[in-house]
Amino acid sequence: MDGCRICGSAAADSVPLWDGRQYCRRCVGGVSPALLAAALSGAPLEETIERNAVRAGRYFWAVGRYVVGFSAIFGIPMSVAVIAGQMPLTAMLVFLAIFGGGPLLLLSIVVPLAAWARRRQLPRTVSIHDGMVRIARPQGSVTVPLAKCRWSAGALANDEWSIYTGTKPAVLLQLPDEQVACGFSADSRERWLSFFALADVPHTRASGCLAWLAWCIAGLTGGTLVGAIAGSIVWLITGNQLWMFGLGVMGAIEGAIACLLYGTCATTEHPEAARKRLKPLYLGLAFAVLALKFRMGGGLVGATLLITINGALGVLLGYLCQRRIRLATSNEPGRRDVSHPASV
């Protein structure tokens, strides 16, 4: 029998992992006791999305909230304008019926059909056995050598199934032609990540475009909404309606920056460099300068208040990014140091 792939020891109690190679119990248990238990049980390493995991309601919420957000961005300032007697109530209601009610009605027809079509493609089971990755679906199965696969972590937007099931795909297995999510629970995530680390499956950055775009859009929408609401309140207090526009634009810029930084800081290949770059003080200063650009009058008190609040938001963002990087680097077995002998 060959020795352990990691330490080379010819221990008689070695266990085969799902890549088809032998490992000693000490090396496997050292990285993850749960992985050792799973390997000893003889069960395959697998993850299944069941048919009943697809919920039309989740899909409706995933898409519908943007419609609601869009309506709110315009609806809230319009309500203020109606209250202030600047706009007829019927005009606001017609606008909301067309741009808010219409899309929601359409969604309520389309979503059940989409969910039904998705269920027909399930259950989907990803499994690894003897060095081969197999993806089984009702329409048929695909088998690819594990050696041709890579993995990435922390990509929430890359597996479209998460829109239908609400699961957060913690680990993405990237096959040559597609990527599949696995590791839906904390236990399962640990098994997959520990296995990838031990078996030396190449790690790659989550294929970025889609995730970047999703974070950007989420930030733009949320930021505009929060900025416009804050601006409407300041408008009511000061009587200067420019605030709603100014803070809305500032919210959009900061929302996009914040979501992009927070969303991608933990998936970068160089977490240490990212941690140095995203210091709370730097971000606080940058946000304070941005606030200086967007202040719409309000005198010294108004400007000081805006700069202070916005600077504090920057500091908070920096702190949250630091925390996210720290958690990602300390909890991810894939980044843990596993000593490897010269490859066989």
Catalog residues that contact Zn ion under the rule CB under 5 A.
Answer: 4, 6-7, 24, 27
Which residue, among 43, 10, 15, has the nearest Cα to 29 in the 3D structure?
15
Question: How far is Cα 220 from Cα 225, in angstroms, rounded to an integer?
Answer: 8
* Residue number, 3 or 280, with CB nearest to Zn ion: 3
Query: Mapping DSSP to helix (H, G, I), strand (E, B) and coil, where does residue 246 land?
Result: helix
* Residue number, 27 or 122, with CB nearest to Zn ion: 27
Q: How far is the CB of 339 from Zn ion (least distance, A)?
A: 10
* Residue number, 24 or 325, with CB nearest to Zn ion: 24
* Residue number, 24 or 199, with CB nearest to Zn ion: 24
Q: How far is the CB of 6 from Zn ion (least distance, A)?
A: 4
The CB density around residue 200, as the number of other CB atoms within 10 Å, is 15
Point out the residue whose Cβ comes nearest to Zn ion: 4
Peptide bond into 123 cis (omega under 30): yes
Q: How far is the CB of 332 from Zn ion (least distance, A)?
A: 21
* Residue number, 29 or 75, with CB nearest to Zn ion: 29
Which tokens go with 255?
Answer: 């929302």
Query: Mapping DSSP to helix (H, G, I), strand (E, B) and coil, where does residue 219 land?
Result: helix
Which tokens go with 65?
Answer: 């909230």
Angle between helices 242-264 and 56-83 (to 10 degrees): 160
Three state DSSP letters for 108-138: HHHHHHHHHHHHCCCCEEEEEECCEEEEEEC
Q: How far is the CB of 199 from Zn ion (least distance, A)?
A: 13
* Residue number, 7 or 114, with CB nearest to Zn ion: 7
* Residue number, 24 or 38, with CB nearest to Zn ion: 24
Burial class of residue 94, CB neighbours in 10 A (0-12, 13-18, 19+): exposed
Burial call 247-275: b when 16+ CB within 10 Å, e when fewer = bbbbbbbbbbbbbbbbbbbbbbeebeebb
Q: How far is the CB of 30 from Zn ion (least distance, A)?
A: 8
Q: How far is the CB of 17 from Zn ion (least distance, A)?
A: 11
In what order do the strands lie in the sheet containing 150-153? 150-153, 171-174, 179-182
User: At 236, which amino acid appears?
Assistant: L
Q: How far is the CB of 28 from Zn ion (least distance, A)?
A: 8
Q: How far is the CB of 5 from Zn ion (least distance, A)?
A: 7
User: At 203, which amino acid appears?
Assistant: H
Q: How far is the CB of 46 from Zn ion (least distance, A)?
A: 25
* Residue number, 3 or 222, with CB nearest to Zn ion: 3
Asked if 320 and 262 touch (Cβ cutoff 8 Å), the reply is: yes
* Residue number, 31 or 56, with CB nearest to Zn ion: 31
